[in-house]
Structure 1
Amino acid sequence: MHAPLLSKSHLSIEFFINRITQTLSPFRTYMDEHLLLELEGLVVSRENRSVLNDINFKLKEGEVVALVGPNGSGKTTFIESCTGIIPFTEGSLSYYSKLNEKIIIRNKDGRNSNIPQIGLTLQNDGICGEETVEEKLLTVLNMVDEGENSHLIDSILSDWGLYHRKSNRVSQLSGGLKRRLSVLSGLCPAIFSLHPIVVLLDEPSEGLDDEACNILTNWIRTIASRGNGIIFTSHDSHLIKCADRIIKLEENKPIAESSGISSGAIVTMVESELVARQVSINSLINWTIKMELRNPIDTINRLTPALVALFISFSLIGNINYETIDNQIISLLILLPAFITCIISPALISRFSEADCGKWWYINLGTKFRPISSFIGASLLLPLPLTYLSWIILIGDKSELYSNEVLTWLWLPALCMLDLAIASSALHFLVSDLQRSQASSASLLLIFLVWPFLELSEALSSIMANGMSFSLELGSPLISCLFASLISSLVWLVAVFLPDA
């Protein structure tokens, strides 16, 4: 990590237990080196209104920039533009590698690349209430071994007055403590990064008390002294004083720029050979599994209507002579519970919608977010056991009426149901991203999934009547299953990649 290059004349040193505080002068250490981020000719419009107009901005290593202005002036839009998640009317966003290579992240034509590792605090925190304080920091740092890293996490949490709440769920925290965690989550990646990164903080002092604001000011200056570039929005005059540069945004006016005071203090932070890694797909998978194990709302929401449908089906046909019922109807009823679990909206959507949690993941994962979310949000565990359970309950001791190969091959249509589940999940995520006027019509796309369901029912009906066939003729079980998977895959492709096209 970089060390602050300040002369003795600029420093007054006070010794505390395990901590050194150095009063920081306006001298800037890294700002004459290379760039971290650049916006060129940026124009962002929302609802036919220009929010940002012809913005040209560069962030250098070790620089702290404050964005100020009235509410609605575009400060949050500026931060979101620096993450690359919103469309540009004109202009481009670029990040610079440690070799000073310019990487275009987004331009007016769309997203070209994912952003590198950043520190990020959103205005709405970006934290799900079901995760614990410690889990949030481990997720941000992409650390999986809690035992090995617990002393590092404990030290950081102690500095911010959160150590005694580290095992608590975020939903159990007060608004002020939750905001402390959100801000700390935005700063931590820069602490453990081997090279300077960009830190984006949207209204970090909002909801913080005076003590926390002082900690925030000192941490910003310390992190900047290590070469990291920081952009924050704020109405807090005390926090704004720690900036090297102040940019004022006003509606329908060009940006006004002035020099800041660069006040604050450099404090010693936890030192470790441990390196924070960029948030990855595995991070999201592990996070999703933990949330569901802690509160299995997704499983319950899917399983309840499926079991209700199963027992209603049993009550309808339980006393009827099965020889008089068409196999197509029986196969539909057997696969119906599994189909219901597949088309239920994923609980992951509600978790993502909580406090902009999904936006935090989307910013960090970029173009990988939609595909992986459609997989981990789908019902992948329930279709297979439910299909066998349906067979046992609905058919029971009447299995001699059907081919003896049914139980051997019942897994095939159930397995193909997973493709349908993933397609359904992708459609639900697509609908959740749309405006209400568009979402109502987009929800009708779920009707397309009835088609692969009918194909799978036909495949099971054929197996029940004639056993398994490997014929490649139309109507054979194998072709019906392949056709169902193909339809589901096409729906998935449209739902996942069309929004980013």
Structure 2
Amino acid sequence: MTVLCRHNMTISPLAQVKGIEVHRGPSKVLEGASVNIGAGEVISILGDNGSGKTTLIEAFAGILPLRSGEVVWHEGGESILVRDSDGRRNPPPPMGLTLQNGGISGEETVSERLAVSLSVAGIHPREGQLADLLGHWGLLHRSEDRVAHLSGGLRRRLSILCGLAPAALSETPRVVLLDEPSEGLDDSAKESLKGWIRALSSRNHGILVATHDKDLSSCADRILTIEDGFLIESPGEASGEPSNLPATIQSSEKRAISSLIRWSIRMELRNPIETVGRATPAIVAILLSYALLMDFDLQSHDSRLLAALVLAPAFIASISSPAIVSRLSESDCGRWWDAVAGPMARPAFSISGASIILPIPVTYLSWLVLSGSVDDQVSSEVLAWLWIPALAMMDLAIASTALHLLVSDLSRSSAAPAPLLLVVMVWPFLELTDALSSIIDNGMTWGLSIHEPLVTCIVASLLSALVWLSAVLIPDY
């Protein structure tokens, strides 16, 4: 689709897409698209379903890979390359973002979600400001409820508020990207939305709205209509009375990654049942191994068999799909984090969401259950050093989580064979098996040859690190 668009070059741009070409699967959705979002400007994008409205919003946010062109944001007199067709990518400046599906996990509470959307933008509201914001949008009485318990309309109000609030409280002009914000709203909420958009414009923020709602688009200064493959520009009505926005506060440095890690840990602690669920197959594996080995003389067989059986439960727990994958896939939650945190989102999630707690206790439990026929002196030596291969298993868990996150980001056609990538994790597992076997046979030794247990564990960790790097870095190129 060739996009032709005029720009008012007298308006200071906050964000630009320059000649971008974007594909959705095999289909070309945008080609040669160039759009500026100016300070104090409200732009509405109209068009039929599938015309490219959401694609343009997500391209501005840096979520989508580009076949050509670049996305550039401007802040404090500096230009920031957010994404280009060569694979270079940087996190955008703080922004407001409402995705078409909301981008919110159902496990979050209403107040938590609003606080997170502000913290990733470097805004820490004063006491009472969160309540004021929620009250204005009719959400205060549900502030401690989980998002999953909200009606569709209230959930949409929350996602809109989380998109508007980072700009509403910011002293610095920000970009606000809204994708179908009026969908599911009642008339009073639509009027509030229009009033907030006009008020943000008066404070020099730039707003880009993708919508089918002609009434909402009436508050725009410019209208870009996608029609028959062209982006046709027309003046907007700029109608609507500005609402009274809350007072701005001074922003601190954007810390999206620290907010992401805190969010991930908080969600894990809130619903530990999924962590327990990952331990269940490990415990089943221990019990099955015990049943098979009940009348088996392990001392007359290669110690690698015992080592493999001891480490297998932790390996199973490590490569199981972590809970973070399902959380991020809910309502485009992962895409929201990908936009606000940039290219470091997947590396951070692969660490904070991995099963790093399970390998050590599961490995020790497995040894205690399966080593009944092993000499007591040997068992004591193994127990003293079993933490080393178990610790290396944590690296394997992080790499496996990165692979799961990679698979979840792929299109359906590409994702079908992608779980087979986990087979590569057998290699570091076999290295750890050799290390534990050596400890069983010879005790812990500290030589530097390739077959020494410490060196073998380091090799396993390096292999896991290589897989992790491939999973978190290669997809952005």
Residue pair 2:123, 2:252 contacting (<8 A) in 1 also: no
Amino acid at match of 2:289: S
Partner residue in 2 for 1:383:
359
Partner residue in 1 for 2:395:
419
The separation in 2 between residues aligned to 1:177 and 1:473, in whole angstroms, is 63
Select 1:473's aligned residue among 449, 470, 475: 449
- Residue 110 of structure 1 aligns to a residue whose secondary structure is coil
Offset from partner CA, 1:198-250 (integer Å, 9 cap, x none): 00000000000000000001011111111100000112222111111111112
Report % sequence identity: 49
Residue 45 in 1 paired to residue 41 in 2?
Answer: no
Partner residue in 1 for 2:5:
none
Select 2:46's aligned residue among 37, 58, 68: 68
Partner residue in 1 for 2:104:
127
Offset from partner CA, 1:319-355 (integer Å, 9 cap, x none): 3334224311111111111111101011111111100
Offset from partner CA, 1:374-423 (integer Å, 9 cap, x none): 11221111111111111222225844162642121111000011111111
Partner residue in 2 for 1:104:
81
Residue pair 1:31, 1:63 contacting (<8 A) in 2 also: no
Offset from partner CA, 1:87-132 (integer Å, 9 cap, x none): 2222221111122x22222222223422111100000000000100
CA shift for structure 1 position 48: 4.1
Select 1:323's aligned residue among 299, 302, 308: 299
**Mean Cα deviation higher: 238-247 or 259-268:** 259-268
Residue 118 in 1 paired to residue 95 in 2?
Answer: yes
The separation in 2 between residues aligned to 1:392 and 1:147, in whole angstroms, is 49
Partner residue in 2 for 1:200:
177
CA shift for structure 1 position 260: 1.0
Amino acid at match of 2:116: T
- Residue 379 of structure 1 aligns to a residue whose secondary structure is coil
Offset from partner CA, 1:297-319 (integer Å, 9 cap, x none): 43122110001111111111133
Residue 349 in 1 paired to residue 299 in 2?
Answer: no
> How many equivalent residue pairs?
470
What is the CA RMSD across the aligned residues, in angstroms? 2.2
Residue pair 2:192, 2:243 contacting (<8 A) in 1 also: no
**Mean Cα deviation higher: 440-449 or 281-290:** 440-449
Partner residue in 1 for 2:3:
none
Residue pair 2:195, 2:243 contacting (<8 A) in 1 also: yes
Residue 437 in 1 paired to residue 413 in 2?
Answer: yes
Partner residue in 2 for 1:446:
422
CA shift for structure 1 position 38: 1.5
Select 2:142's aligned residue among 140, 145, 165: 165
Partner residue in 2 for 1:81:
59
- Residue 476 of structure 2 aligns to a residue whose secondary structure is coil
Amino acid at match of 1:98: G
TM-score between the two structures when normalised by the length of structure 1: 0.89
The separation in 2 between residues aligned to 1:412 and 1:475, in whole angstroms, is 15
Residue 483 in 1 paired to residue 452 in 2?
Answer: no
Select 1:278's aligned residue among 236, 250, 254: 254
Select 2:32's aligned residue among 54, 67, 79: 54
Partner residue in 2 for 1:251:
228
Q: Which has the larger Rg?
A: 1
- Residue 266 of structure 1 aligns to a residue whose secondary structure is coil
The separation in 1 between residues aligned to 2:304 and 2:202, in whole angstroms, is 71
Residue pair 2:120, 2:256 contacting (<8 A) in 1 also: no
- Residue 195 of structure 1 aligns to a residue whose secondary structure is coil
| Structure-2 change in CA distance of 1:397 and 1:45 (3 Å) | closer
- Residue 92 of structure 1 aligns to a residue whose secondary structure is strand
**Mean Cα deviation higher: 410-419 or 438-447:** 438-447
Residue pair 2:171, 2:248 contacting (<8 A) in 1 also: no
